[in-house]
Amino acid sequence: MQWLVFALLVVGSSVASFVTRERRFRRRWQNVELPAITVGRGAYREGPASGAMMPSAPLALRLAALSCLVYGRGVNTALITTALYLAGFPFREVAETTLHGLLGYLAGAYGFGAIAAIVLAALGLGAGNDLLLRNHRHAFRRTRNIALASLALHGLVWTNITFHGHIVVSSARDIATSLAYARAIAAVAFGHAALMLALAYAYRAQLSALTPAERKLEL
């Protein structure tokens, strides 16, 4: 039951935030002209024709932005829930899983993994907003850099736990549980980072309405 409430809270708040921001910045994407289409020659046409504008940000970018918001808010909400549990609130299910994940990341990334994962989740939350800002100067670089750092961290955690975790597993059953949670989290986070990286380059490709000078500033 706690996980159901947690999921509804995270997804609901993320969707609300996404809808608000997407509507706010939709007009920027409506200034982007769609690629010209080739039409047959005739009395009043002689080749490519255009004029249509994008109605909103590309679907792939909107999905990527929403996934960043859900991921970032999920981590933040899990940490807040854990803090409330430690303060005496009855959120044991979510808190125990979060603590296991943090411990697994500490063991899987030489002591710095948990802090790095929290920082990257917060930065990913900002990247979700950046993807909706078509002409935001630092959107591509920030999203790309966050994705690369996330790939490196979560890949390191998954690799260490998968190929070297037996040393820790043999010493404590609780650590084995934490490592199992951390490996699952790392696999999901790695996949999300790969999606972020791919969509960052798709974002750059969609800046077709900018002049060369503006595009140079953007990238």
Encode pLDDT of 83-118 as tens digits: 999 999 999 999 999 999 998 898 888 778 899 999
pLDDT mean over 7-24: 92
pTM of the model: 0.77
pLDDT of residue 23: 87
Provide the number of structural domains found in the chain.
Answer: 1
| Exposure letters 101-131 (e unless 16+ CB within 10 A, then b) | bbbbbbbbbeeebbebbbebbebbbbbbbbb
**Does 219 score more than 50 pLDDT?**
no
Domain hosting residue 126, numbered range: 2-218
Task: Give residue 20's Cα distance to chain centre.
Answer: 18
Residues 6+ apart with CB under 8 A from 106: 112, 113, 114
